[in-house]
Amino acid sequence: MKKSKVIILSVITMLLLSIMPFTSTAATKNMVVHFIDVGQGDSIYIKTPAGENILIDAGNKAKGHQVVAYLKKQKVKTIDIMVATHPDADHIGGLDEVLDAFVVKNIYAPKVSHTTQAYRDFLNAVKREKRTIKTAKSGVKLPLKDTSVTAKFIAPVNTYTKSDLNNWSAVLHIKYNKNTFLFTGDAEDKSEKDMISKKVLSKVDVLKVSHHGAKGATSKEFLNIVKPKYAVISVGKGNRYNHPTSETLNRLNTAQTKVYRTDKQGTIKATSNGSTINFNVQSTTQPTSPAPKPVSYKLTATLDNKSPKQYSTINLTVKGLPNGTKYKAVFNYKSTKTPYNGTVGKKLPVKISRAAKGYTVKVDITSTYKGKTYKTQTSFTPK
């Protein structure tokens, strides 16, 4: 009996010893926030202690490949949450390339649209990936599995005019144990006043300064509430807007906030263990990776039967652009023209009815992808 008790105690001890190292490791895991240097724009990558990946914006169109390269260097395979703070091109311009390069599980954006090509490219990429955009607004929590991290949008609080895009910015508050971060997009004075009025602001450790340090944001009243220990300004070197402005820098100095800037220190990395935050700014400006060679697209079309009988059905297949891209096919019969809408990569069944025997029917296909129009042609002759 005593021998059995000894064996049982030994087994329990071994189990406890095997569990303890994992518990200890979990307790000391870090959350890392990368303020990626994308010049005059924003892009922030966050890795939670549990390994979940969050991306806020991706700079302008020309920086999309750089953001993709940076994420791949961090061994990112899947993006759990993507946030498009607002439709300005210097924030969402590179998101379509990110969507093309990675599996993205959740996409959040404020409920405001824009007419720019950058915004259309973003929406088209979302459609290609068969995703839907969830509304980013005050009170919405992000679906994180990591219970040590909470992430919640605190703005936009209200609705604004479509011309007031900056104040539509999705403002995200993230808390990891005792450490807090606030990411503000381009939120300006109106949004700040609304956040103050609704009492959704609180003291934070790290503030991503809004609108690249423009004077119309980061007000004294706003800083009096958030009281950041550290501030990061994502801004382009020698930009034509003179960001960050002296007014904003003076307000941050008065608030006794330590300021980091991507135009001076390059990509900035903040590492939190849940109680303290360390900044790594030893590296110089993130070297621009060589721009990828432009992808050469060529639209092609094939029919499964080039000599069909009258009243039969033929299948048109269009390739050469990313699957899911829409196209228009016009069948030029002898006496009429019949248009059809199809999807690249999917067969389009067409019933040819009483097409004239021996008459070659030309099929003109047109598709637009990322603002460029592609054309091709095929034909068939009924027998």
Instruction: Note the helical H segments in the chain.
Output: 2-27, 64-73, 89-92, 95-101, 117-128, 189-197, 220-226, 246-254, 262-265
Q: What is the pLDDT of residue 254?
A: 97
- Of residues 356 and 91, more confidence is placed in 91
List Cβ neighbours of 203 (8 Å cut-off, separation of 6 or more). 180, 225, 226, 227
Query: pLDDT digits over 175-218, tens only?
Result: 999 999 999 999 999 999 999 999 999 999 999 999 999 999 99
Longest dimension (CA), the chain: 100
Tokens representing 283 are 């590296």
Rounded CA separation 2/4 (Å): 5
326 forms beta bridges with 343
Q: Does domain 29-280 match CATH 2.40.110.10?
A: no
List Cβ neighbours of 149 (8 Å cut-off, separation of 6 or more). 31, 48, 49, 50, 174, 175, 176
Query: pLDDT digits over 60-94, tens only?
Result: 999 999 999 999 999 999 999 999 999 999 999 99
Rounded CA separation 263/261 (Å): 5
- Of residues 184 and 371, more confidence is placed in 184
For residue 370, pLDDT beyond 90: no
Contact (Cβ atoms closer than 8 angstroms) between residue 95 and residue 57: yes
Q: How confident is the model at residue 283 (pLDDT cuts 50, 70, 90)?
A: very low
Give percent of the chain above pLDDT 90.
Answer: 82
Tokens representing 174 are 């993230």
Query: pTM, whole model, 2 decimals?
Result: 0.71
Domain ranges of the chain: 29-280, 300-380
Backbone angles phi, psi at 247, to 5 degrees: -60, -45
Among 2.60.40.10, 3.30.70.1710, 3.30.43.10, 3.40.50.1000, name the CATH number for the domain at 300-380. Answer: 2.60.40.10
